């Protein structure tokens, strides 16, 4: 039994050339978006870590943060 990936590949290869090109473009764009999102999160982590090291931010225990968030949401 072919895998979903193999079925998708066979279906894609059966498409007309223009349709295959459109799918290829969409897939490539989706990869670029993932890279942009990952890079943005790395930047955010770097900035937060730098703020912590400069004494401009403090760490909060996860349980404490979740408890505070739940409290605010229930108000």
Question: What is the tens place of the pLDDT at every residue in 29-64?
Answer: 888 887 888 889 999 999 999 999 999 998 999 999
CB-count burial class (<10 Å; 0-12, 13-18, 19+) for 23: middle
Q: Which of 43, 8, 52 lies closest to 27, judged by CA?
A: 8
pTM above the 0.85 mark?
Answer: no
Q: In the structure encoding, which two tokens stand for residue 22, read together?
A: 């459109």
Q: What is the pLDDT of residue 37?
A: 87
The percentage of residues in the chain with a pLDDT greater than 90, rounded to a whole number, is 73
**In the chain, domain spans:** 4-73
In the Cβ-directed half-sphere of 6, how many Cα atoms lie within 13 Å? 3
Confidence of residue 71 (pLDDT cuts 50, 70, 90): very high
- Tell me the C-alpha distance between 56 and 47, whole Å: 11
The stretch 7-32 carries a mean pLDDT of: 92
């Amino acid at each position: 039994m072919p895998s979903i990936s193999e079925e998708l590949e066979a279906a894609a290869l059966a498409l007309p050339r223009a349709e295959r090109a459109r799918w290829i473009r969409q897939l490539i764009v989706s990869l670029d978006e993932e890279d942009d999102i990952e890079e943005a999160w790395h930047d955010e982590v770097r900035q937060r870590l730098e703020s912590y090291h400069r004494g401009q931010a403090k760490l909060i225990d996860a349980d404490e943060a979740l408890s505070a968030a739940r409290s605010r949401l229930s108000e």
